[in-house]
Amino acid sequence: MQEIQDIDRLREALAVGDGARHATSSGGFIVEGQAPTSARFVLCHGAGAGHDSEFLARLRRQLAERGIQVVAVEFDYMTVMGRSGRRRPPPRIETLVDELAGWRRRLTELDAQTPLWFGGKSMGGRVASLLATRVDLAGLVLFGYPFHPPASLTVCDSSTGRRSPAPCCCSREPATRSGGVMRSRDIGCRRRSSVTSWRVETMTGRCSNVLRTRSRY
């Protein structure tokens, strides 16, 4: 019964896409951007900061403005931390990958046609990349973690050696607090780039183009 209620809540949020926060038995989520959408991006937060962070909030808004619906999922430990007001470490990475797999299953049940990309900031990006070693994803957009060497065409998690063939767009570091400049290098999307510094708005535009044009579906 709870699973049915969670899926109904997710269905309603996907139809509205107003950026409101919702709660489920598997953690919270936010949907930014209205359907129909050219692609859907499942965004995961980092280990210590949730989706209230300035960088992730701005990223959601700007992708939504470019026609990409963003589903920002909150891992269960972060939901518990928000309720208790006490910081706590994340669980084992396998637990988080299982949680993210559950979100993928629900979203696919509701809409199997829209390309479904995954990614996130730091730990959240790592979780998404590990999910891509289990199941077929449209692609990955990862922020703040060097998942693989610049010359590599696949994503590799250094702790496991597992690889995913999913198209990938990465930025090496998050935005700085002053001025929003992102020191980045595009080491995915099947090619390297000489660009090493973008503003967040430029990076968001680049990611939205990748999400639209790089889907394998």
Domain residue spans of the chain: 2-139+203-213
| Three-class DSSP category at 1 | coil
- pLDDT bracket for residue 162 (50, 70, 90): low
- pLDDT bracket for residue 181 (50, 70, 90): very low
Range name among 36-45, 99-108, 153-162 with the lowest pLDDT average:
153-162
Sheet strand arrangement including 116-121 = 18-24, 27-32, 68-73, 39-44, 116-121, 139-143, 168-171
- pLDDT bracket for residue 206 (50, 70, 90): low
Q: Strand pairing of 68-73 and 181-183?
A: unpaired
- How confident is the prediction for the chain on average, in pLDDT? 77
**What fold characterizes domain 2-139+203-213?**
Rossmann fold (3.40.50)
Q: Above 70 in pLDDT, residue 92?
A: yes
Overall average pLDDT of the 47-70 stretch: 89
120: left (phi over 0), alpha (psi -120 to 50) or beta: left
- pLDDT bracket for residue 37 (50, 70, 90): confident
pTM for this one?
0.79
What's residue 186's pLDDT?
A: 31
At 180, list the tokens: 């929003």
| Three-class DSSP category at 132 | coil
Higher pLDDT, 186 or 200: 200
